[in-house]
Amino acid sequence: MLTSTPYVTIIIPTFKDWDRLALCLGALADQTYPADRFEIIVANNDPNDNVPDGYTLPTNCTVISEGKSGSYAARNAALKIAKGEILGFTDSDCIPYVNWISTAVEYFITHQQCYRIGGRVELFYQSAKLTAAELYESVFAFNQEQYVKVEGTSITANMFSRRDIFDSIGDFNDELLSGGDYEWGVRALKAGFGIDYVPELIIKHPARHDLKEIADKARRVGGGQAGFLTDTKTSKLGYIIQFIKEVRPTGGDIRYIFRKGKKLSLRQKWDVFYVRYYLKAVRSSERYKVLTGKKASRS
């Protein structure tokens, strides 16, 4: 049974992102949870990119390096030295609410049979006039409630877990450059470790501003999806059929865009629709390339 102030470890992978990480660490330094009851482990995924001179780290923060490429390899390196009974995960570009850790701890204490929780991701934008990429993100990005309640998983931008689960089912699959949180979540669910959605557990995340950023993400997801597939013998014709099925417009997507983006103009809805199918094509193409021998990309 957890005590009233269990020790917590916050794990943050980073890759050439010191500026945005500073905002994340600043938010963690301001947490309402006692600073002596949690530690922060930053896992730097580029050992050649050292902490900048004059960089401010909270007193309870440790920076480690992990040379194996990928955020899941970085998280696993942090897990090896983590001391917390509860493990919290976020990303270097995220800004947690001031009560983020306290909310997670309180939930675990009042729900002793809960093993994992996922929280809400609140997007913010560069300006009031949204780009096509930002419009897409406002409709489709970070549907945590769906991930948690329907799929039994959570993105590692906003997830907490009891340490016991990792001891039981193992760490993240560090061969994956994307989708490792999903793969681990499925393993946890199959092992009987449920997950709850906690809407009061909030981090802020910047919406991706341009199409290149969002396409790079789709590429990583496609490469990550290839890691889940065992049948790599699909013929070229079979791939073409799969591609057409994936990228063709569906009534479900159109209804979702109109429902979730009900405040958007018709032109803005069209922008979202266009980006949606462009990204489907990027993701599907990358998945096929990785299945046929291409190395998965992290950018």
Grouping H, G, I as helix, E, B as strand and the rest as coil, residue 122 is strand
Q: Is the dihedral of CA 129, 138, 176, 90 positive or negative?
A: positive
Report CA dihedral (259, 276, 228, 197) to the nearest 10 degrees: -30
The rounded distance, in Å, linking the Cα atoms of 9 and 87 is: 5
Cβ contact 165:188 at 8 Å:
yes
Taking residues 143-150, report their average pLDDT. 95
Per-residue pLDDT tens over the stretch 240-297: 677 677 777 678 888 989 998 888 999 999 999 989 888 988 888 887 777 776 666 6
pLDDT surpasses 60 at 230: no
- pLDDT tens-digit profile of 24-47? 999 999 999 999 999 999 999 999
Instruction: Tell me which DSSP letter residue 57 carries.
Output: -
Rounded CA separation 281/297 (Å): 16
| Contact between 207 and 174 (Cβ < 8 Å) | no
The span from the CA of 57 to the CA of 40, in Å, is 10
Sequence ranges of the domains in the chain: 8-206, 211-291
pTM tops 0.95: no
Q: Which CATH architecture has domain 8-206?
A: Alpha-Beta Complex (3.90)
| Residue 154 near residue 195, CB atoms below 8 Å | yes
